[in-house]
Structure 1
Amino acid sequence: MLQRLLHQKFRIQAPREIRIGPYEACQNEQNIYLLIPTQNMEENFLLELDHLAKHLADTGDSGVYQFLKSQDGNSVIKWENSQYCVLSKKNVDRRPVKQIGRKLAKFHARGRTVPFEVRSINRIGMWKTFWEQRLDQMEKVWNSKLFQAPENEFERLFIESFPYYMGLAENAIQYLSDTEQDDDPAAIDSGTICHQHFSSRTWGEKLLIKNPFDWVFDHGTRDLAEWTRDCYFRNIKTYEPEVSQFFQDYASISMLSSFSWRLLYARLLFPLHYFESVEEYHITTSEQERHLQEEKLKKCVEQSREYEEFLRDFYRIARVPVRRMNIPSVEWLQR
């Protein structure tokens, strides 16, 4: 379909079909083209992403996919009773991303210089509200099941484990509140272009892809925390050297403030992995996906002690000057 769309709307020939993540794509010798379904997405949202992608490209990031304009000048294409955007990037050989911390710091530095107000994807200052909402919703679900016999193993695990993770989430919210009350943001704490869930796979594994539809505008530690969380769960026994190197590489471009470190730590404290597993289980209708989430939840609960150790040791692993920056610890984790 994308080849026909490119030919009819853009007069472009791209003979080789590929897939990039969940997206249909194709390429020719010059460029790679990515088809993004945008049905029900607002025009202002798409325009904002277009401007952000252009800003990053204009300030030197060659890995960002740009919105392709059709012959009539539109970046939103009506096609076969649906709506799409086509993204494009120069077709260059993919090399593994090395020093991802350093490259992420450069990405964030460019994102902090956005010369207009970002509205549609702005998440600055919203963590506490989002976390409280998720916690309240999950507590209601838990309360509704509390005095019933669990229907299956997942529900038994959820009923037994939720009070612990509720406490962890409350700790994260309190740590975040204390940070916002007691500490002052520095220049590095300005909003920047971030990702919904940044990990070592976000920028692609075979082809380099910086996709605007992955982005939110937020505090840079969102990406740092989510990369760290993902690294921990991928390498639960051997994560320390990789995490330490990641933060050294990031610091070679941008040094974090005490406010940044505390925000990052609050985000690691919030048990997002647990919340996502429970939420996904209740959303999906697929038995296979439910079984997968049950296994994830079981693993999450079994490894709760290891995660506490990770939280206790994080500042040491990341080489944070805790005393000089007067960064508080979470007392119960130090016991």
Structure 2
Amino acid sequence: MKNAINYYYNLYPENIHQTEKGYYFIINKTRYFLIKYLGDPKDIQKIYEMHLYLLNQNFYVHPIVLNTQNQILTYINNEPYILMITIYYENEIKLDDILFFFKPTNANSKAPNWGELWSQKNDYLEYQISMLGQKHPLIRESFSYYIGLGETAIQLVNSLEKTNVPLVYAHRRIEANHHQYDLYNPLNITIDYSVRDIAEYLKSRFFSGKDIMKDLTYYLNNTKLSTYEYFLFLARLIYPTYYFDLYEEIITDRKVDEEIKKIISKADDYEKVIKQIYQYYKTFLPVPRIDWLE
């Protein structure tokens, strides 16, 4: 890897350290991180332009370093990599870090349609499990329950009267074990409603075995949300991204089937959390009826 960094970036580190996420090295007190790019190469130009826009707005994200051919992606052994200058943070992110991160987007930003995106995802996963389910009995046995949760979330989102809610720079995924490196990684940044990040963070913490009630209570009591945002938040908590993400890792052989048991074992307790939020909403909002939450 040292030869590739020398050749493609004209950088000559003395030592290169490999981590689970990639390779880092330090030159003149500047920390560089070379990671494999796992997204669609067609998206990289848009990501690069958004990261330049954020930097120009004095919104810190890790700067992307172009290679000697002035390209964003560098192919090393036929695998795409991207180099960034990073600031190293050892501590895991907390709720306040996420809330501090949010910045409004420009007026031309387009709101994502969660109902449509989730419907497409559910349809794709149902087709996929019909082809691959025999190889993964634990997934096959639990799949219909989580598809059902997904359908509840879709119905809730589609029932809402859409209002004008500010969009922010948010994240594709925020997980309980993420560090501030992940928070400011431009590859992880997207445009969405702020409730996306909070819901994903709380779900990840819950299924990592951590208590979320303190953060959940703080967020609901101290954040000004519109009615639309309250229900987007609930829908995002219901939609089982945690299960579908793990499902994809299992069928691509990055994780073993047994991992799914950790999620399935917490299903009843998680339902209780969702019911608590639903009942709390009923004290001050006109809540669409969801039978299994009554």
Q: 1:137 to 1:27 in 2, by over 3 A?
A: same
Q: Specify the code of the residue in structure 1 equivalent to 2:82.
A: C
Counterpart in 2 of 1:332?
A: 292
Matches within 5 A, 1:136-175: 136-140=123-127, 154-155=136-137, 157-175=138-156
Counterpart in 2 of 1:202?
A: 178
Counterpart in 2 of 1:22?
A: 21
Alpha-carbon displacement from aligned partner over 1:253-301 (angstroms, at most 9, x marks no partner): xx332212211211211223333344443332x7xx33xx3342x3433
Counterpart in 2 of 1:52?
A: 50
CA distance in 2, matches of 1:72, 1:144: 43
TM-score norm. by structure 1 comes to: 0.71
Q: 1:105 to 1:58 in 2, by over 3 A?
A: farther
Largest Rg, 1 or 2: 1
1:225 paired to 2:199:
yes
Matches within 5 A, 1:182-201: 182-186=161-165, 188=166, 190=167, 192-201=168-177
Q: 1:329 to 1:299 in 2, by over 3 A?
A: farther
Q: Is the 8 A contact 1:76 1:83 kept in 2?
A: yes
Alpha-carbon displacement from aligned partner over 1:59-78 (angstroms, at most 9, x marks no partner): 3444x211124466544446
CA distance in 1, matches of 2:276, 2:63: 41
Counterpart in 1 of 2:275?
A: 312
CA distance in 1, matches of 2:26, 2:184: 16
Alpha-carbon displacement from aligned partner over 1:72-97 (angstroms, at most 9, x marks no partner): 654444666665432113x56x3536
1:131 paired to 2:113:
no
Which of these residues, 221, 233, 240, is aligned with residue 264 of structure 1? 233
Q: 1:282 to 1:5 in 2, by over 3 A?
A: closer
**CA offset at residue 177 of structure 1?**
0.5
Q: Is the 8 A contact 2:115 2:155 kept in 1?
A: no
Counterpart in 1 of 2:99?
A: 105
CA distance in 2, matches of 1:151, 1:300: 20
Q: 1:127 to 1:18 in 2, by over 3 A?
A: same
Q: Is the 8 A contact 1:184 1:259 kept in 2?
A: yes
Q: 1:214 to 1:19 in 2, by over 3 A?
A: farther
Counterpart in 2 of 1:243?
A: 216
Q: Specify the code of the residue in structure 2 equivalent to 1:171.
A: T
Alpha-carbon displacement from aligned partner over 1:236-269 (angstroms, at most 9, x marks no partner): 5x331233345667x3xxx332212211211211
Query: In the comparison of the two structures, how many residue pairs are matched?
Result: 294
CA distance in 1, matches of 2:233, 2:35: 31
1:16 match: secondary structure: coil
Q: 1:46 to 1:219 in 2, by over 3 A?
A: same
**CA offset at residue 217 of structure 1?**
2.7
Q: Is the 8 A contact 2:9 2:68 kept in 1?
A: yes
2:47 match: secondary structure: helix
Counterpart in 2 of 1:33?
A: 32
Q: Specify the code of the residue in structure 2 equivalent to 1:26.
A: F
CA distance in 1, matches of 2:147, 2:120: 12
1:85 paired to 2:82:
yes
**CA offset at residue 226 of structure 1?**
0.8
Q: Pick which of 194-203 and 258-267 moved more.
A: 194-203
Alpha-carbon displacement from aligned partner over 1:88-114 (angstroms, at most 9, x marks no partner): 13x56x35366x3333233221xx334
**CA offset at residue 17 of structure 1?**
1.9
Which of these residues, 58, 63, 67, is aligned with residue 66 of structure 1? 63
TM-score norm. by structure 2 comes to: 0.80
Consecutive unaligned residues in structure 1, runs of 5 or more = none
**CA offset at residue 332 of structure 1?**
2.4
**CA offset at residue 312 of structure 1?**
0.8
Q: 1:315 to 1:54 in 2, by over 3 A?
A: farther
CA RMSD of aligned residues (A): 3.6
Consecutive unaligned residues in structure 2, runs of 5 or more = none
